[in-house]
Structures are given as structure tokens and as C-alpha cells.
Structure 1
Amino acid sequence: MASIYPFRAWRYNPSAVRLEDVVTQPYDKISPAMQEGYYQRSPYNLVRIILGLPELFDAEQGENVYSRAARDFKAWRDQAILVQERDPSVFAYSQRFRVPGTDELKERRGFIALGRLHEYADQVVFRHEQTLSKPKSDRLKLLKATRAHFGQIFMLYSDPAGSVEKILYDDAGPADAEVTDEYGVLHRVWRVSDPAVIRLLTSTMGDKKLIIADGHHRYETALSYSKEHAPPVPARVEHNANSLPQPAYPEAAVMMTFVNMDSEGLVILPTHRVVHSLRGFDPAAFAHAAEQFFAVEKLPDSPAAAHVDWLRQQPGISFVAVTSLGAFLLRSKPDAAATALADLPENQRQLDLSHLHTIILDKLLGLDAEKVREQTNLRYLRDAAEAVDQVQRGEADVTFLTNPVTMDQLREIAFAGSVMPQKSTDFFPKLLSGLTIYALE
């Protein structure tokens, strides 16, 4: 099952930089405006490594964003901008936040450690989404250049009794690092280097199976890189009663944040679909065609938030479709949907997003799986108001407001070895990059 290891993390030196000036959101959540803002905050902001700006004379071979990332990473270590922990440690990691769109306050608790990389066939690590080749190629180039992991893979494990949190948090004192991000989330980190605590933690995690919440592309990149560097003869790691576990070789593990999927602090937000640039899209014809599979009801003119609230209250599978003619509630007709989804596994037929992708996007709008993968006519937005505004501004043909996937649905799909449509889950908040760094050498 899951193998967890402490590590000697590289961390930003608080006497050299302010943490709020140098940490970032995950690389794939950094917009161009955020990227520019991070650049302006500090010459040592991690964005210069994980998502550097291209320059005029960059080339595949020679100077480019990856070579500059490697150069900066080395320089920052040489200059003690980044310093390495003396002892192998794990790091308790807490995030306090307000659930977007509500006044509800929550805290999500987990811990950062190394986790052994497994093939999905081993049935230790499970995915819930497909991956694309382009992001994996980009991350592999960065990994090869820097020989380091700068963000954590977000992993879920099941622990209804909360035993792992009790080990790490019951006697936790003041955090040794904390920062509030641009979304108002308070991130706090505690270093845990007591060997007895680490051994208890690794033992407790030893029977767990893991689901990737965020970081599928980085996980698969790290797994490929690990296989490239595996020694011809598997390395033997000697242990005694007093030693701490360690990976067989540096590339055999990757930095992860582990969060209990049974905790109340876990929040999944919906990701709305915005369809644009369709040739000859006719909203009236679309609404008529949808009636074959859905009960279609015109909604009163209201703000997007009201549509989202209305959607939450609907039993069964439903969406709100917003076109230039207004907002419509689409409620699935079970018999018609069953025929349309006959090729899908039963657990996927119960997903709202399977109905949306297979019936609406593919059958009604002509966006097949390849077009969805390439996002030629599709955008994904967390903000319902912005998604609706894009239709009203004429920048999109139709927006589909959706309900979030539940944790029970995700667990069932992942452990069955199946996958959901892309962008099915939006875990909030994201894990900050730069809190800890795992250097392979």
C-alpha cells in the first residue's frame, strides 16, 4: 500500500525573503496576469522556475525557460535564498478558507511528505481524470532541467477516525511558517522531525490507498522519469528499528500533500462549461433538440448565482443552459439518457458531467472527445457569473452551469479504475507551490 517518506526539504529562507512574495498557486492555475504579478513581487518568486516567461531568442536547444529555471534554482541555493532542512521531516499543512460564494468557514488539514510512485495497475494510486500529452511534456522538460519537484501532488486517503490528523495536530504549537494567498486562504506549515512521530505516521499510512485529487499530469511525469532512472538491479534500502524509511532511489518518490477524504474540510467546486465559436449555432434549435433527452424549462431572468442556487435544489441529473435567449433548466429524461449512455459503465452513467459531455457536447453540439481534449470550442470556468457574462457579451454561444461532483462519486469512479470527463473536479483551495521543495540531488 502507500509508502510515505520524510525528506530534507529545501525551503525559502525567511531572513532573505518574505514568504508571501515568493510562493505561487499551482503552475496550471496561473493566468498570464498572475504570472506577471508574481514576476513583479520578487526576483525570487517561484514562478520564474515553474512557469517562466519566454524570451525572444529562446531555442529548444540552448537558452530557454527550462535552462533559466535550472540556473535560478542553483543560484538561489548558492545564495541561501533557499536553505535545506537539517533533518528528514514531514510537514503538517493546514488551510483555513471561506467557501466561495458562501459565508462558510472551513479548515482543511493534511501533511506534506514524499510518496512512492506506483503504476496505476498496482492499485495503490488511483486517478479520476484523463491526462494530455502537452502538459506532461512541459513538466518533464522542467523536471529534467532542474532535477527537483516544486509543488505537491494532491492525494486523498480514507481515514474515518481521523487518526493521522491526531498524530500531527493534537500537540501542534505555533506554525513555523504561514502565509495568506490572493484568495484569502491562510496556509500554515509545521515541521515534524521527531523520528517516533514520523515512524507512527508512516505506519498508520501503510494500509492506505490513494486517489489523485489534483496533479495527474505531474504524477504521470514523475512516474515516467522514475522509470527512466530506475537502477538495473533494484536498490535495497536497509532498515532497522530506529531508522526512518526512505525511497529506493531519489526519483522513486515525489512530493505529495495527503488529505483525508473523509474530513469535513474537503470542498469540491463545480467547473462550468462555456462553448464558443460554433458554426451556425441556433439557440432555439438547440433547445428544441435537447427536448429529446431533457425536460427543458425556461427560467426567469436572474443573476447567475440564482441559477446556481436553483440548480442545487434539483433532484436527479440537471444543468442550466444559458444562451442569448435566456436561461433554461435541463432535467435528464432517464429512458432517453440510458440509451444514449449505453456504452458507458454504470457508475459513469450516474454522473451529471457524463450526460453533459456525451449527450449535449457530443451528440447535440458536435464536440467529440478529441475536440473536448483540445478545447477548440470549450472553456472551463469556476465563476458562474463570468461564464454567463461571456454569453451575454457575445463571446460564447452557450454556457452550462453544473453541480459539483461529490466525494462519494469520485471515490467510486476512481477505485473502480474508471475516469471522469476532464475538469470534473475543482478542489478548493489549491496547494501552494514553494512551501517545500524536493531536490533529487
Structure 2
Amino acid sequence: MAIIRPFKGLRPKEELAAQVAARPYDVLSSDEAKAAAAGNPYSYYHVSKSEIDLPEGIDTHSQQVYDKAAENLQRLVKEGVLFQEAQPAYYIYKLVMNGRAQTGLVCASSVDDYNKGIIKKHEFTRPDKELDRINHIKTTLAQTGNVFLAYNDVPEVNALIDHWQNNNKPAYDFTADDGIQHTIWVINTPAAVQEITTLFAEKVPCTYIADGHHRAASASLVQKEFQEKGTITSVENPVNYFLTTIFPASQLAILDYNRLVKDLNGLSKAELLSRLDYDFTVEEIGHQPQQPSMLHEFSMYLEGTWYRLVAKEGTYTTDPIGILDVTILSNNILDKHLGIKDQRTDKRIDFVGGIRGLQELVKRVDSGEMKVAFALYPVTIQQLFDIADSGNVMPPKSTWFEPKLRDGLITHVI
């Protein structure tokens, strides 16, 4: 069963929360972070993307960058921008985007649960990205990035969170410049804290990583290093836990994650369309972009025209991986016709999260940068759970979750 703990969150003064809050470190470039933080000394980008305060061109994985992150974090504490909770607490985090709300529990999840597979994964991680987060955690002595977890709904947990929201004033409530509303409540009464801990221990058999695989893996590796050094003297040591926000599956939405390819692998447009006809029902749909309306349906944009591709029976299997649209696309188009064997390493392919819309695909193809684009129907949360339960991993760039949690609103100090 899932082990979670309350913790003494490091968080901003109420009136500064909107200025502190920053998008996750891995969804924007250093230049974008620098522009977003311009004129705002309280922005958490000074911690999560601290290269913005160093000379241009610096290696973002250098120790100087991690030292600057630690320096900036301590500055925010010394200036009173951030303060640490007086007693361990849980937090309710509600996000509203385009009228749709999702509400999760911010807690410290057990690293041992991650190591044992009680917290389930669906992606591979890369050692270079793990090392980056390891060095950031070890230097700042804090987990500054949230891991987004999901679980199958438990009515008792949902009811408790609803009751707390309806009967208590939030600590923060603001709308960010991208229109997403962020509201956070602090749960700090001993009875409520104990009830939540017990409910998860008794009612939640496992949780699933939706977003943040590298952050979770890095927390595990930091714990291992501390264990080997003999610096962990208690099971309740904060390094045995990592910062998570856990959402009920019923509230989550996964957006499409689309593909762009630089060339047709030596094929002409007519040749590609002819080849696709073997595995797909191909229909020209005109110049206006259309989102796929169901699983196993794709939209393709090529030379100014959109096409609907519907996978024929026999082009996919019914196992958790084989039935995914990203697998169908990979096996029957990208690999078979366009010569892309490994999407992780091939420089001819790029990925665009559905939050950018289909016009982003049109723009990049029409500009000549890319030759063809494929829009996919989103993976379902149940497909994600099925794959994690089976012990498999999804193909790269399969899921895009929105809205994103903001960094800086709650930090876990180790």
C-alpha cells in the first residue's frame, strides 16, 4: 500500500505566491526562463533555472549552476520571500484550466515505494537527466520539482479533500499569466493529517507516475548515496521521501503528443500515400486541420493538405503496448516507410505537445523546416495504468499532461 507523509513545506508568503510560481524547469528553455523572470527577483526560475543569473553560454550542468541555485534559494529564505511550515502538513492543490478542474494532494511519497514498484513507472529515464536532478538536489538540499502522480479514485479520500476545500480558506489563490488558476490549502490539524496518512495506507494499493520520471529516479539515487555514506539515521529522514502531488484518475486529462518528420525518406508524396494505403484507410480532408476523433485514427499534414488515416485490422495487436496509437504510427509509418528506427535518437523527428495545437504543425511544415506532420488521438489514463501494471514502458513522448504544476509554491527540504 502507498506510504505518504506530511512535511514542513518551504513556501512563499501569500502575497508573493504568484510572483514566485514558475513552470516546471523542463518545459522551457533557459532563454524562455530568463525572459519570464525578467524584473522579478522572486521568480523561482532563479532556483530551478539558475543559469539565467550566470554568463550566457555557461554549461547548464556545471557545478556553478547548482551552486547558484542553492545561493538563490537561501536568498529567498533570508529575504522572507519563502518560509518553512512550523509543523508537518499536507496540501491540497487545485488547478483550473479552460473551466476544467483537477485537485490533488501534495505530500512526501516514499522512495522505498518507488524502489519496490508500488509507485509505478511507464517511461525509461536517461542517466544525464538523472544526474542533473541529483546534483541539483544535493547542492540545494531540496526537492524543488514536483512529481505528478495518479491513483484510482478512493471515495473517502475525495470526500475528505472536498470537505477541507469547502470549509477552509486557501493559502494561495491566483491566476497565472497563462490563464491557469492555482489554489492551495494547508491541511495541518493532527486529526486530518493522520486520517489522510491512514487512508492511503489502507485504501491506495499503488500510485502511477504521470509526469516527472527523472525527478523520481533522482530522489531514489540521492537516497541510495546518502545510505551508502551512512548519513540516514532514521526511517523518517526527509531524504527517504520525495515531493509529489497525487491526483485521482477521474480528474485527469492527457493531451495528444504529435510528431513532425523532416523528410519522406526519399519517397514522393504519391509514393508515400500509395504505401500508406496498405495499412490505413486514407482520406483527403482538405486544408483545415482536424483533430483525430478516436483511437487508431491519425491526421497527417503533407504539402498543404490534411489526410485522415484509420489503421486497418491487423496493423496492431491488443497487448498494452501494441494497441497504442504511438506504437501503430511507429511500426507502420515511421519505421516501415520513413526509416525512423529509434525516436529517442533520430534527429529527423521532433515532437509537439498538444497544448500548442495543430496550427503549430502547419506552421513548421509550411515553413519548410519539416516535411510531414502526424496528429494523434491522446493516450487514455487507463492505457497508461495498464502499461505500468504490466511492467512495460511507453514509447517516447507518448503523453502530455496539462495543466502543469507550478514550481516554487511548495518545496520539500531534505
TM-score, normalization by structure 2: 0.91
2:319 to 331, 346, 355: 346
Residue 75 of structure 1 deviates from its aligned partner by 2.2
Counterpart mapping for 1:303-318 below 5 A: 304=289, 307-308=290-291, 311-312=292-293, 314=294, 317-318=296-297
2:40 counterpart residue number: 42
User: Would the alpha carbon gap of residues 289 and 133 (structure 1) be closer, same or farther in structure 2, given more than 3 Å must change?
Assistant: farther
1:359-415 Cα shifts (integer Å, max 9, x gaps): 21122111112xx11351222222211112211221211100111011121111111
Asked whether the equivalents of residues 234 and 248 of structure 1 are also in contact (C-alpha less than 8 Å), the reply is: no
The alignment-based identity, stated in percent, is 27
1:244 counterpart residue number: none
Alignment partner of 1:215 is 2:212: yes
User: Would the alpha carbon gap of residues 112 and 75 (structure 1) be closer, same or farther in structure 2, given more than 3 Å must change?
Assistant: same
Structure 1, unpaired ranges of 5+: 99-104, 238-246
Alignment partner of 1:169 is 2:167: no
Alignment partner of 1:424 is 2:398: yes
1:69 counterpart residue number: 69
Asked whether the equivalents of residues 258 and 376 of structure 2 are also in contact (C-alpha less than 8 Å), the reply is: yes
Asked whether the equivalents of residues 304 and 366 of structure 2 are also in contact (C-alpha less than 8 Å), the reply is: no
Q: Number of aligned pairs?
A: 405
1:374 counterpart residue number: 345
Residue 179 of structure 1 deviates from its aligned partner by 2.1
Structure 2, unpaired ranges of 5+: none
Distance 1:129 1:267 in 2: 18
Letter in 2 for 1:429: P
Counterpart mapping for 1:177-326 below 5 A: 177-207=172-202, 208=204, 209-230=206-227, 247-261=235-249, 263=250, 265-276=251-262, 280=266, 282-302=268-288, 304=289, 307-308=290-291, 311-312=292-293, 314=294, 317-324=296-303, 326=305
Paired residue secondary structure (2:278): coil
1:391 counterpart residue number: 365
User: Would the alpha carbon gap of residues 411 and 296 (structure 1) be closer, same or farther in structure 2, given more than 3 Å must change?
Assistant: same
User: Would the alpha carbon gap of residues 255 and 33 (structure 1) be closer, same or farther in structure 2, given more than 3 Å must change?
Assistant: same
Distance 2:116 2:58 in 1: 40
Paired residue secondary structure (2:347): coil
User: Would the alpha carbon gap of residues 32 and 278 (structure 1) be closer, same or farther in structure 2, given more than 3 Å must change?
Assistant: farther
Asked whether the equivalents of residues 104 and 248 of structure 2 are also in contact (C-alpha less than 8 Å), the reply is: yes
Distance 1:32 1:112 in 2: 27
Paired residue secondary structure (2:124): coil
Letter in 2 for 1:113: C
After the TM superposition, list the runs of 4 or more consecutive aligned residues in structure 1 that deviate by more than 3 angstroms: 31-34, 56-63, 118-121, 231-237, 277-281
Residue 274 of structure 1 deviates from its aligned partner by 1.3
1:304-348 Cα shifts (integer Å, max 9, x gaps): 2xx11xx21x5x51211111152221111222x14xx6xxx8221
Asked whether the equivalents of residues 2 and 207 of structure 2 are also in contact (C-alpha less than 8 Å), the reply is: yes
Residue 120 of structure 1 deviates from its aligned partner by 5.4
Paired residue secondary structure (2:100): strand
Alignment partner of 1:133 is 2:127: yes
Residue 235 of structure 1 deviates from its aligned partner by 6.5
Residue 85 of structure 1 deviates from its aligned partner by 1.0
Residue 438 of structure 1 deviates from its aligned partner by 1.0
Tell me which moved more, 117-126 or 266-275: 117-126
User: Would the alpha carbon gap of residues 260 and 324 (structure 1) be closer, same or farther in structure 2, given more than 3 Å must change?
Assistant: same
Asked whether the equivalents of residues 7 and 88 of structure 1 are also in contact (C-alpha less than 8 Å), the reply is: yes
Letter in 2 for 1:318: E
Distance 2:62 2:364 in 1: 41
Tell me which moved more, 401-410 or 134-143: 134-143
Asked whether the equivalents of residues 261 and 372 of structure 2 are also in contact (C-alpha less than 8 Å), the reply is: yes
1:401 counterpart residue number: 375
Residue 114 of structure 1 deviates from its aligned partner by 0.4
Asked whether the equivalents of residues 287 and 304 of structure 2 are also in contact (C-alpha less than 8 Å), the reply is: no
Residue 154 of structure 1 deviates from its aligned partner by 0.4
Distance 1:275 1:61 in 2: 29
User: Would the alpha carbon gap of residues 402 and 433 (structure 1) be closer, same or farther in structure 2, given more than 3 Å must change?
Assistant: same
Asked whether the equivalents of residues 118 and 207 of structure 2 are also in contact (C-alpha less than 8 Å), the reply is: yes
Asked whether the equivalents of residues 145 and 215 of structure 2 are also in contact (C-alpha less than 8 Å), the reply is: no
Distance 1:397 1:156 in 2: 37
CA RMSD of aligned residues (A): 2.4
TM-score, normalization by structure 1: 0.86
User: Would the alpha carbon gap of residues 299 and 60 (structure 1) be closer, same or farther in structure 2, given more than 3 Å must change?
Assistant: closer
Residue 36 of structure 1 deviates from its aligned partner by 2.5
